[in-house]
Structure 1
Amino acid sequence: MADVTDSKCQTSQFEICNTVCHTPIENNSMSPKHGIVCLLCLLLTSLVACQRQSELTNGDYAGYFDKATEELVCFNFPVSYDMFADLLEVIPADHELYYRSLFAKATCAQHITPPTQELLDEATKLFEQVASECPDKNLAGRAIINLGRIAELRDYPGDIIDLDTARKYYQQLIDTYPNEDLADEAILWKAGTYIQVVGDKQSKEQGVTMLEDWLAKRPDNAFASPMWTYLGQTYELELDNPQRSLECYIKADKIGLPAESSISAFYWRMAIMAQKIPSQLDTCVKYYQKIIKITPTSGRAFEAKLALDELAKAHPEKNIQVPEIELYQIGQ
């Protein structure tokens, strides 16, 4: 076993040296400068490989897991993939980190670029194992969602989108955990598989109905704001219903906008949309005012102030208040 490991290490070292030095390591005519660089590469690679091998040999699975995870969160998927593969060769199946390691390796396989059918097939197999065997329902549920995403998206040239399979995975979570966050997220993804169908209004309406029915049943679910936001976008951009779109955006705003939202852009869209609907003048004014008060340093604050000035002149009976743009609020 040691001989095999040493052989792998040596092969890796030769490859690194050849890449860095642009001179084959076996070339006896390399310059002293190249020789020093190659020696440093060999030394560094040996130290890293030996340290990792030592951790696994000594049974420090948690330490090795943490280091592999560090590579994963830094999007260094190939290195993390290899590390989790090494860990899974030695870690017992009943260890608390076993299924997390399986999940992590699957995640790496799913995201390594360029993606290939072989990698995605491996990711699918590993996620299926986690989904069927892991006692942690959150990890198992996340694996099922990832299986749905693999089926839903085109990952490599020639990959076939399979919305029916994706919907089955999402529905599996909805049926298994109907009153939990996993189901809330799954219904959001499932509805998206209908809304995203290009040129099919009936399919889009089916996805919209799915979300609205779910929100009626679970109005305070953890994904309520993204759901209302998605509904607003769909009504605005896909179904040409600005009134309903605005209503959905307002509900999302009351709950709290999704973290990834640009607040000033979101409020600007709402104000512009409301301005085109005669019955929504008060809503229009409200969101122009919010842009000025909440995002005074945004590029839209000045434009919002100009818009309010015009509205105040056009509707003197409304006594529209135009806030000042306070860029610096010292002492507050």
Structure 2
Amino acid sequence: MAELIDYPGDATDYDLARAYYRKLIEAEEAGELVDEATLRLAVSLASEYRNPDSIEESVHLLRCRIEAGPDAELLPLLWETLGIIMLERQGDREGALLALSRAHELGFTNPTFAPRISWTLARLALEQGRFDLAVPVLEELVVKYPRSGRSYEARRVLLRIAREHPRLELRVPDLVEFKTPRASEGSTGPAPDRVAAGGTEP
């Protein structure tokens, strides 16, 4: 592809890549190819962080594609990309919260990045006083992603919310502790059992 370096010395041509993306978007009426082209074009345009017009076009492309009813498989990623661009390139924290909330409702497409995006979503929600959005996401970070560093941080925030807002009657979930196998068990055995760790408030 024109925007990628395929071999040493290969020159990138972002303008050519964008032209191909636009042709694909215009040629196809629906389907995953259009979704993919829209995502790639939007991210490429958003990379020009000093060009407000380019960033605005990026946001416009994503909004139009979402409204057009894209392939269900990539819809969460379209919302997620829109939210991140609005947050990091436009500073639109309310718009980013709305977009990332929608992506979360649909289910993030990449489990590897889900904890990071969830943490961003939770922080945005807390900034805007949306405990109804923040608390479920924080609880999910603790329970669903126990191996993520965000799990511990999320529980600390939940404990603080429970202390400062008792009316919410939060039941903060426990952290999950991973047992370390004994030396005699070797490293080729089954995965360590997980046990709930009560944990204490930091």
TM-score (norm. length: structure 1): 0.49
SS state at 2:90 partner: coil
Contact 1:312/1:318 (CA < 8 Å) preserved in 2? yes
Kindly indicate whether the alpha-carbon contact (under 8 Å) linking 2:32 and 2:71 is maintained by their aligned counterparts in 1. no
Tell me the residue number matched to 1:161.
Answer: 13
Q: Does structure 2 retain, via aligned residues, the 8 Å contact 1:184–1:221? A: no
List 4+ stretches of structure 1 deviating above 4 A: 153-158
> 1:271 & 1:160 partners in 2: Cα distance?
37
Q: Give the SS at the match of 1:296.
A: coil
**Counterpart of 1:265 in structure 2: which amino acid?**
R
Structure with more relative contact order (C-alpha pairs < 8 Å, separation 6 or more): 2
Counterpart CA distance in 2 for 1:253 and 1:266 is: 9
Match of 1:237 among 51, 71, 88: 88
> Using the alignment, how far apart are the partners of 2:29 and 2:73 within structure 1?
13
CA separation in 2, counterparts of 1:322 and 1:189?
A: 39
Given that 1:154 and 1:161 are in contact with CA atoms closer than 8 Å, whether structure 2 keeps it comes out as: no
Pairing 1:301–2:151 present: yes
Alignment of 1:184 onto 2:35? yes
Partners in 1 of 2:127 and 2:90 — Cα distance? Answer: 17
Runs of at least 5 residues in structure 2 that lack an aligned partner in the other structure: 178-193, 197-202
Specify which of 260, 264, 268 is matched with residue 115 of structure 2. 264
CA contact (8 A) 2:35 2:71 kept: no
CA displacement at 1:230 relative to structure 2:
1.1
Separation in structure 1 between the aligned mates of residue 44 and residue 115 of structure 2, nearest angstrom: 29
RMSD: 2.3
Corresponding residue for 2:180? none
1:217 deviation in Å? 0.7
Change in 2 beyond 3 A, CA 1:195/1:317? same
Instruction: Work out the CA distance in 1 between the residues paired with 2:175 and 2:154.
Output: 10
User: Does the 8 A contact of 1:184 with 1:222 survive in 2?
Assistant: no
Q: Which residue of 2 aligns with 1:292?
A: 142
TM-score when scaled to structure 2? 0.77
For 1:98-247, what aligned pairs fall within 5 Å after superposition?
A: 146=1, 150=2, 152-153=3-4, 159=11, 161-163=13-15, 165-247=16-98
Matched residue type, 1:159: A
Superposed CA deviations along residues 135-167 of structure 1, whole A, max 9, x for unmatched, are xxxxxxxxxxx3xxx1x346766936342x222
CA contact (8 A) 2:162 2:169 kept: yes
Give the SS at the match of 2:101. helix
Deviations 1:235-286 (A, max 9, x none): 11111011211221121122221226333222222222222112x1221211
Measure, in 2, the Cα distance between the counterparts of 1:199 and 1:154.
23
Q: Residue type matched to 1:216 in 2?
A: E
Matched to 1:247, the amino acid is L
Q: Distance in 2 between matches of 1:300 and 1:250?
A: 18
Further displaced range: 253-262 or 225-234? 253-262
Matches within 5 A, 1:67-86: none
The aligned residue for residue 168 of structure 2 is: 318
